[in-house]
A and B are shown apart, each in its own frame.
Chain A
């Protein structure tokens, strides 16, 4: 059987809120090392990769590898019934067709069990090669969210450029143009307010803002976001999940025909 008890249940609620509008159905792959998920959006433009390591759980048991087929909208409905401070336990039998979510209130005076039907999903797993990215930028996740939202009101695509000076986001549309530059700033008080640029080569790529906007639904998971870019490769937008792993989004670039 599989059982995972998560003291900080709100993390799972946040993960679902971040991905439920991008991906419809997906397998949660459970193994003795944790829970992993990989899924594409329906247009095959973006890919989501989630890792929740066993060590981040208060209790974790997985007797054999299980692929739990889940409709994310339905799981989100269930998790919305958990309080933000609740402990969430996931349970599934090896041959079962349901998953149980148990919510425990912080002082243990309310215990709720929600059972959700699983589905059979033929998933296509993609091998993501290790890449030495030309530019890696870490910046406040709220700042990234703000920039992407602001640019979305002006254009449909954004050019993201990284030089040793910083990272720039540009767009254009019927009403005009916009260009935002965030400079490296490592001398701010709080580490989470820093913007850091690691660069091997300047890079500039074009992406659909609609997807970048969708990725920023993960902002609540981490105060910082890391953007990794290389010429003619998908951008990686990564939110680290404290003690547990990460939520990564890969977005295919737009290129000249």
Chain B
């Protein structure tokens, strides 16, 4: 099954 990833997990919080 495929899981939708969260966009925040790819970028750094400033």
Contact = CB atoms under 8 A, between A and B. Distances in A.
A27 B13 CA distance: 16
A interface: dominant SS: strand
B7 A251 contact: yes
Contacts of B2: 157, 206, 254-257
Interface string B1-14: 11111111111111
Interface of A: 40, 44-47, 124-129, 157, 206, 208, 233-234, 250-257
A142 to B, nearest CB: 26
24 contacts: A44-B7, A45-B4, A45-B5, A47-B11, A124-B13, A125-B14, A126-B7, A127-B11, A127-B12, A129-B11, A129-B12, A233-B10, A234-B7, A252-B5, A252-B9, A252-B10, A253-B5, A254-B4, A254-B5, A255-B5, A256-B1, A256-B2, A256-B3, A257-B1
Given A125-B14, A127-B14, A254 B3 contact: yes
A128 B13 CA distance: 9
A129 B1 CA distance: 29
